C-alpha cells in the first residue's frame, strides 16, 4: 500500500483482532509522529487519558468495553477529538449512535487503505491547522500579557520618577524657606518667596501625575485650583479679601504644555495678589481656559484691581515675573494679548 508523508499528530488504534492490529501497526505507525495501540475499549480509554492522542481509530464490537462506549467516555474528556469508526457490520443503530457521538468517519470493513489514508490526511490537516491557530493565539495572549506587565512596570517606575522629582523640588523649596528666615532684607525675602512659589507650581504637576492613572497628561482645572490655593496661603494678608473664580474647561494637558501654563498662572496671580488690590477692600481674580473654534487653547488670567497704565507695554517689562511670562508664552508657541481696563486681563492663545 502507498506510503505518504508522516503527519505531526498522534494516533490511537483500538482493535481486538490481533492480526488486524499487526497489519494496521505496519500501515499506520509510520504515517504519524506517535502511534498507540489497544486491544479493547477499556485499554484504549486508559491510553487516551494518559497520552491524549489527536486521532482515534476504533472497532465497535470488542470485549470488556466496546468502541462506542469508549468514544462516549473520551468525548466527555475532549469533545474536539477526531474519531474514525471501522466496523464489519453496517448496522443502522451503530451508525446512528456513532453519528450522535460526533465521529468524523464511519468505514465498513474490509477498509480500503486509500480511503482510510485520505480520511487521515484530511483530519490531520484540520488537527494541525487548529494546533497552529491555538499556538498563535497562545503566543498572542502571552505577548499581550508581557506587554501589559511591561507597561505596568513602566507606569510604576514613571510614578516613582514623578514622586522623587516632587520630593526634590519640595526639598529645594524648604531650603529657600530656611534661607528666607535668615535674611532681614524685605526685598530679598520677597525674591526667595517668589522662587519658592515657582518651584511649588512645578512640583504640583509631578504630584498630580503621581496620584493619577494618566502619567502623561494633567487635569488642568485641578492643577489651576491647586496653584491658586497655594498662592492664597502664601499671601495670607489677602485671604478673605480676594474671591477666586474659575471658568476652566475639563481638559487634559501634556506635561510640556501644562508646566509653562502653570508657571504663567503663578506669575500673573502673584502679580495680582501683590499689586492689584492696594486700597481695595475686596477683589476678584479669574482664571479661564477654553478651546477656541479654530482648535487653539485660550488661557485667561484677569483681576478687577487697579490695573496697569493703559500705555504700558508688557514687552518692555522690567520685572522678572512678566519677563518670565513672555518667555513661557514663546516656549508654548503662543501669543500674548492684554487689556488694561477695569483691572487687567491677560489672554494667551496657543
Q: How confident is the model at residue 306 (pLDDT cuts 50, 70, 90)?
A: confident
pLDDT at 90 over 50: yes
Q: List phi, psi (to 5°) of 257.
A: -105, -40
Q: What is the pLDDT of residue 224?
A: 85
Q: How confident is the model at residue 237 (pLDDT cuts 50, 70, 90)?
A: low
Q: List phi, psi (to 5°) of 13.
A: -115, 125
Q: What is the pLDDT of residue 41?
A: 92
Residue 126 is placed in which grid cell? 484540520
Residue 202 is placed in which grid cell? 512645578
pLDDT tens per residue, range 268-297: 888 888 887 877 778 889 999 998 888 889
pLDDT tens per residue, range 137-193: 888 888 888 887 877 677 677 667 766 777 777 788 788 778 888 888 888 877 777
pLDDT at 102 over 90: no
User: Angle of helix 186-211 relative to helix 220-234, nearest 10 degrees?
Assistant: 150
Strands 297-303 and 242-248: unpaired
CATH number attached to the domain at 217-350: 3.30.565.10
Q: Is the pTM of this model over 0.85?
A: no
Is the CB of residue 274 less than 8 Å from the CB of residue 235? yes
Domain topology for 7-111: Rossmann fold (3.40.50)
Q: How confident is the model at residue 325 (pLDDT cuts 50, 70, 90)?
A: confident
35-39, 64-68, 88-92, 115-119: least confident range: 88-92
Q: How far is CA 39 from the centre of its chain?
A: 55
Please tell me whether residue 62 adopts helix, strand or coil conformation: coil
Q: Which residues contact 346 (CB under 8 A, 6 or more apart)?
A: 268, 300, 301, 302, 325, 336, 337, 338
Is the CB of residue 14 less than 8 Å from the CB of residue 38? yes
DSSP code string of 176-203: HHHHHHH---HHHHHHHHHHHHHHHHHH
Q: List phi, psi (to 5°) of 312.
A: -70, 135
Return the percent helix, strand and coil in the chain, to nearest 5.
55, 20, 25
Compute the distance between CA of residue 159 and CA of residue 210 in angstroms, rounded to an integer: 5
Domains 7-111 and 217-350 share a fold: no
Alpha-carbon dihedral sign for residues 57, 60, 65, 71:
positive
Q: What is the pLDDT of residue 1?
A: 41
Q: Which residues contact 336 (CB under 8 A, 6 or more apart)?
A: 314, 325, 326, 329, 346, 347, 348
| Mean pLDDT of all residues in 15-27 | 91
Strand-pair partners of 217: 254
Other C-beta atoms within 10 Å of 258: how many? 24
Strand-pair partners of 246: 287
Compute the distance between CA of residue 350 and CA of residue 336 in angstroms, rounded to an integer: 9
User: Angle of helix 186-211 relative to helix 255-271, nearest 10 degrees?
Assistant: 150
| Mean pLDDT of all residues in 223-228 | 84
List the chain domain ranges: 7-111, 217-350
| Mean pLDDT of all residues in 87-116 | 84
Compute the distance between CA of residue 271 and CA of residue 344 in angstroms, rounded to an integer: 11
Compute the distance between CA of residue 47 and CA of residue 56 in angstroms, rounded to an integer: 11
Between 117 and 240, the higher pLDDT residue:
117
Query: Residues, the chain, total?
Result: 350
Amino acid at each position: 500500500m502507498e506510503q505518504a508523508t508522516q503527519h505531526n499528530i498522534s494516533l490511537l488504534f483500538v482493535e481486538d483482532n490481533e492480526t488486524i492490529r499487526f497489519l494496521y501497526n505496519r500501515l499506520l505507525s509510520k504515517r504519524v509522529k506517535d502511534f498507540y495501540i489497544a486491544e479493547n475499549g477499556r485499554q484504549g480509554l486508559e491510553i487516551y487519558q494518559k497520552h491524549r492522542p489527536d486521532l482515534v481509530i476504533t472497532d465497535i464490537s470488542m470485549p470488556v468495553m466496546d468502541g462506542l462506549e469508549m468514544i462516549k467516555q473520551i468525548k466527555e474528556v475532549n469533545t474536539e477529538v477526531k474519531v474514525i469508526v471501522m466496523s464489519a457490520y453496517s448496522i443502522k443503530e451503530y451508525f446512528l449512535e456513532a453519528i450522535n457521538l460526533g465521529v468524523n468517519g464511519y468505514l465498513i470493513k474490509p477498509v480500503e487503505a486509500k480511503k482510510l489514508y485520505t480520511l487521515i490526511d484530511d483530519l490531520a490537516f484540520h488537527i494541525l491547522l487548529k494546533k497552529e491557530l491555538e499556538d498563535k493565539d497562545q503566543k498572542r495572549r502571552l505577548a499581550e500579557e508581557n506587554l501589559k506587565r511591561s507597561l505596568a512596570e513602566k507606569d510604576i517606575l514613571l510614578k516613582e520618577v514623578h514622586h522623587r522629582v516632587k520630593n526634590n523640588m519640595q526639598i529645594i523649596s524648604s531650603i529657600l524657606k530656611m534661607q528666607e528666615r535668615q535674611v532681614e532684607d524685605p526685598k530679598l525675602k520677597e525674591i526667595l518667596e517668589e522662587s519658592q512659589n515657582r518651584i511649588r507650581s512645578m512640583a504640583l504637576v509631578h504630584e498630580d501625575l503621581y496620584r493619577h492613572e494618566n502619567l502623561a497628561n494633567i487635569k488642568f482645572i485641578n492643577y489651576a485650583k491647586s496653584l491658586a490655593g497655594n498662592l492664597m496661603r502664601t499671601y495670607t494678608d489677602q485671604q478673605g479679601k480676594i474671591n477666586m473664580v474659575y471658568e476652566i474647561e475639563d481638559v487634559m494637558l501634556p506635561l510640556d504644555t501644562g508646566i509653562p501654563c502653570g508657571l504663567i498662572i503663578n506669575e500673573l496671580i502673584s502679580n495680582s495678589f501683590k499689586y492689584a488690590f492696594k486700597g481695595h477692600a475686596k477683589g476678584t481674580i479669574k482664571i479661564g481656559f477654553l478651546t477656541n473654534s479654530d482648535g487653539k487653547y485660550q488661557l485667561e488670567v484677569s483681576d478687577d484691581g487697579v490695573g496697569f497704565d493703559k500705555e504700558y507695554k508688557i514687552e518692555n517689562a522690567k520685572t522678572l515675573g512678566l519677563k518670565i511670562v513672555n518667555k513661557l508664552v514663546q516656549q508654548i508657541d503662543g501669543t500674548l494679548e492684554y487689556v488694561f481696563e477695569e483691572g487687567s486681563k491677560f489672554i494667551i492663545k496657543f
